Structure 1
Amino acid sequence: MILIVDSGSTKCDWVSVDKNGNQLLEKIRTKGLNPAILKEKKLFKIINKQTELKKHKDEVTHVYFYGAGCGTEKPRLQLKMVLESIFSKATVEVKEDTFAAVRATISEPNEAAVVCILGTGSNCSYYDGKELHQRVSSLGYTLMDDASGNYYGKQLIRDYYFNHMPENIKVSFAEKYNLDADFIKYNLYKQPNPNAYLASFAEFMFLNKESDYIKTLIKKGLKLFSENMIFQFKDELKSVPVHFAGSIAFFSENEIREVANELGYKVGNIVRRPIEGLVSYHTSM
């Protein structure tokens, strides 16, 4: 049994297939497994809590894990150790989530492209057809992650409290979420995964996209992301497309194409969830 895993900070999808790509179990979803945020004990707990994974762990021969927070060595090795402890008979490979986005969005195995992730967090890399290149190290949701779910959640809460929202949007926002200051601070500073908590507010944008305020908010984040991340690769952009993966990207497709047209780069493929492309990749090798 081969396990192919695509994890963000919010949720984690597990697909089990045989070597021919035939699905063996129903797709499993757990909470996100971000080793840059979660401690080892919590990572173990999330995986072991899933009864199907626990039941079939000794049947697993390979684990291909792609995840947020796996872009630096220490958290990546920590998660690899956790997975090897649980799936003790399997060969385990852990890569950052950008590799999942690359393998799910490129049209040809050796296609060069700039590949972006816009989900709970955000990231951008250049894939030259063989290797992945990054010119800015991610410092996580507190300092970076422009145009991500947690970025937009933060902006919505700030605009609500600073009275920058139109009144009708402000009323709708307050009806949908608990915006009590103590409740917000409890979730941000006392609970795990504050980035995922912030990202939970981003859904509001896509339920209210007819608002000029929301459209402006989405495009502002995308312009920041373009300027700070995509334009790391100005020379490469002259000849390659920019692909996107993630829920925020999927639901912001029109705005992404508008911003790209304004700023002068070419948008390629946009996929919501990379997991389907990963299955094809690993079973056709």
Structure 2
Amino acid sequence: MILIVDSGSTKSDWIAVDREGNKLLEKIRTKGLNPAILPEKKLKKIIKSNDDLKSNRDKVTHVFFYGAGCGTEKPTQQLKEVLQDFFKNAQVEVNEDTMAAVYACINNPTEAAVVCILGTGSNCSFYDGEKLHQDVLSLGYTLMDDASGNYYGKQLIRDYYFNNMPENVKLAFGSKYNMDADYIKYNLYKQPNPNAYLANFAEFMFLHKDSDYTINLIKEGVRLFAKNMIFQYKEHLKTVPVHFAGSIAFFAQKEIKEVAEEMGFKVGNFVRRPIDGLIPFHTKDM
């Protein structure tokens, strides 16, 4: 049994397949396994709490894990050890989530492209057709993650409290979410995964795209992301496409295309869930 995992900070999707790529179990979903945020004890607890993983752990021969928070050595090694300890008969590989997006987005294995992730968090890399190049190391949701779900959640909450929302939008936002200050601070400062908590608010933008306020909010985040991340690879932008993966990108396609035209880069593919494209990649040579 081969397990392929695509993990963000909010959730992890697990697919179990055989060597021919046939699915052996229904898709498994657990909480996100971000080793840059969660301690080892919490990572173990999330994995052990899933009955499907627990009952099939001895059958697993390979684990291919792609996740947020796996872009630097220490958290990556920590998560690899956790997975190796649980799946004792398996070979374990842990890669940053950008590689899953690359394999899912590119049109052929040797295509060069700039590949972006806009989900709970955000990231951007250049793939030269063989190797991944990361010019900016992520410092996480507090300092980076422009145009991500947690970025937009933060902006929405700020605009609500600073009275920068149109009144009708503010009423709709306040009726959909618990905007009590103590409740918000409790979730931000006393609960795990505050980035995922913030990202939950981003859905509001896509339910209210009839408002100039939300459209402008989306575009401003994309502009910031393009300036700080995509244009790190400006020498390639005239010759390669810019692909996007993740739910935020998928639902903001129109706005991303408009910003791309405005700022002068070529948009390629949009993939909401990279994991489905990883099955043929990992079984073709098995």
TM-score range, shorter chain: over 0.9
SS in 2 for 1:110: coil
Deviations 1:79-103 (A, max 9, x none): 0000000000000000000000000
* Counterpart position of 1:228: 228
* Counterpart position of 2:68: 68
* Counterpart position of 1:34: 34
SS in 2 for 1:3: strand
Aligned-pair CA distance for 1:173: 0.3
* Counterpart position of 1:83: 83
SS in 1 for 2:201: coil
SS in 1 for 2:77: helix
SS in 2 for 1:9: coil
* Counterpart position of 1:206: 206
Structure 2 residue identity aligned to 1:120: T
Structure 1 residue identity aligned to 2:69: G
Give the distance between the partners of 1:170 and 1:31, measured in 2 at CA: 30
Aligned-pair CA distance for 1:144: 0.3
Q: Does 1:128 align with 2:145?
A: no
Give the distance between the partners of 1:37 and 1:83, measured in 2 at CA: 16
Give the distance between the partners of 2:275 and 2:235, measured in 1 at CA: 30
Deviations 1:184-234 (A, max 9, x none): 000000000000000000000000011000000000000000000000000
SS in 1 for 2:255: helix
Structure 2 residue identity aligned to 1:28: I
SS in 1 for 2:235: helix
SS in 2 for 1:123: strand
Give the distance between the partners of 2:209 and 2:70, measured in 1 at CA: 33
* Counterpart position of 1:140: 140
Aligned-pair CA distance for 1:283: 1.3
* Counterpart position of 1:218: 218
Q: Does 1:20 align with 2:20?
A: yes
Give the distance between the partners of 1:227 and 1:100, measured in 2 at CA: 23
Give the distance between the partners of 1:33 and 1:179, measured in 2 at CA: 27
Deviations 1:160-199 (A, max 9, x none): 0000000000000000000000000000000000000000
Give the distance between the partners of 1:229 and 1:263, measured in 2 at CA: 13
Unaligned regions of 5+ residues in structure 2, if any?
A: none
SS in 2 for 1:179: coil
SS in 2 for 1:15: strand
> Any runs of at least 4 consecutive aligned residues in structure 1 with deviations exceeding 2 A, and if so which?
none
* Counterpart position of 1:282: 282
SS in 2 for 1:147: coil
Give the distance between the partners of 1:189 and 1:17, measured in 2 at CA: 39
Aligned-pair CA distance for 1:137: 1.2
Aligned-pair CA distance for 1:134: 1.1
Structure 1 residue identity aligned to 2:218: I
* Counterpart position of 2:150: 150
Give the distance between the partners of 1:246 and 1:280, measured in 2 at CA: 20
What's the RMSD between the two structures over aligned residues?
0.4
Aligned-pair CA distance for 1:136: 1.1
* Counterpart position of 1:239: 239
Give the distance between the partners of 1:280 and 1:124, measured in 2 at CA: 24
Give the distance between the partners of 1:157 and 1:60, measured in 2 at CA: 43
SS in 1 for 2:71: coil
Give the distance between the partners of 1:199 and 1:89, measured in 2 at CA: 36
- The total of aligned residue pairs comes to 285
TM-score, with normalisation over the residues of structure 1?
A: 1.00
Structure 1 residue identity aligned to 2:74: K
Give the distance between the partners of 2:167 and 2:90, measured in 1 at CA: 55
* Counterpart position of 2:264: 264
Give the distance between the partners of 1:244 and 1:138, measured in 2 at CA: 17
Aligned-pair CA distance for 1:146: 0.2
Give the distance between the partners of 2:105 and 2:169, measured in 1 at CA: 35
Aligned-pair CA distance for 1:115: 0.1
Q: Does 1:186 align with 2:186?
A: yes
Structure 1 residue identity aligned to 2:115: V
Unaligned regions of 5+ residues in structure 1, if any?
A: none
Give the distance between the partners of 1:280 and 1:172, measured in 2 at CA: 43
SS in 1 for 2:260: helix
* Counterpart position of 1:111: 111
